[in-house]
């Protein structure tokens, strides 16, 4: 089973993925008699057909620049290409890894994480009103709609991981944690394959065509 899950999590990437979504959550793992938190690093790609794919799921001692860089370099070695846009939380180490390994990509902070961080600075009684106003601001920015949708979907994915791993509470070891997370990802991935197109890629295609036209006119 571990071999099959490893193949699923480490496939050669034969097609370009213009959209990339990166996130992490923590699970409790027992190591040498001590319970430690382990970061589960998740990378999702969206191809030009608008289909979602799990590109990587790995464990790390913590979510840091080095752990994200190692994962990103691994994706490059598996022929990751064509990345134009990356969505993630505003984690300094993660942003640094993206800049170093994917310098050609535009980065945006995850919409869901932004809302959560914003509410940390507000009194509890103001949460609902301020959250509504923040969402209205984002809704008026049509260019961001697809990006918001992608970010919100990743949050649902991580919540599903949380729901299914909560029953375990503490994993007996790192291998058991990675095995369950990857098995859950396989289940979700198969559901995506059977689903309809997730994201309409036409706006991005039109944007690229317009950029090429402008370059031709300028020449």
The CATH number of the domain holding residue 21 is 3.30.420.10
Confidence of residue 119 (pLDDT cuts 50, 70, 90): low
Domain contains 69: yes
Q: Output the pLDDT for position 42.
A: 92
Domain contains 211: no
pTM of the model: 0.74
Q: How far apart are CA 48 and CA 176, in angstroms?
A: 34
Around 96, how many Cα atoms within 13 Å sit in the side-chain half-sphere? 10
Domain contains 173: yes
Q: Output the pLDDT for position 128.
A: 63
Domain span including residue 48? 2-203
Confidence of residue 215 (pLDDT cuts 50, 70, 90): confident
List, as one string, the DSSP characters of 101-130. Answer: H-TTSEEEE-HHHHHHHHHTTS-GGGHHHH
Q: How far apart are CA 44 and CA 19, in angstroms?
A: 8
Which SS3 state, helix, strand or coil, does residue 1 take? Answer: coil
pLDDT in tens, 51-76: 889 999 999 988 899 999 999 999 99
């Amino acid at each position: 089973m571990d071999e099959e899950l490893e193949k699923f999590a480490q496939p050669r990437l034969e097609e370009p993925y213009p959209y990339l979504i990166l996130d992490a959550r923590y699970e409790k793992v027992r190591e040498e008699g001590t319970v430690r938190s382990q970061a589960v690093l998740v990378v999702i790609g969206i191809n030009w057909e608008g289909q979602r794919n799990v590109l990587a799921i790995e464990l790390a001692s913590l979510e840091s620049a080095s752990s994200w860089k190692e994962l990103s370099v691994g994706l490059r070695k598996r022929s990751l290409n064509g990345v134009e846009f990356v969505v993630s939380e505003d984690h300094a180490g993660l942003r640094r890894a993206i800049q170093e390994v994917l310098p050609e990509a535009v980065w945006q902070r995850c919409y869901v994480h932004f809302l959560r961080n914003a509410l940390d600075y507000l009194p509890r009684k103001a949460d609902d009103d301020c959250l509504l106003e923040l969402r209205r601001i984002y809704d008026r920015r049509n260019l961001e709609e697809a990006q918001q949708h992608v970010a919100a979907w990743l949050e649902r994915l991580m919540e599903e991981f949380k729901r299914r791993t909560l029953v375990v509470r503490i994993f007996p070891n790192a291998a058991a944690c990675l095995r369950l997370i990857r098995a859950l990802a396989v289940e979700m991935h198969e559901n995506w394959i059977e689903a309809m197109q997730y994201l309409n890629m036409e706006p991005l295609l039109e944007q690229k065509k317009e950029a090429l036209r402008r370059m031709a006119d300028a020449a």
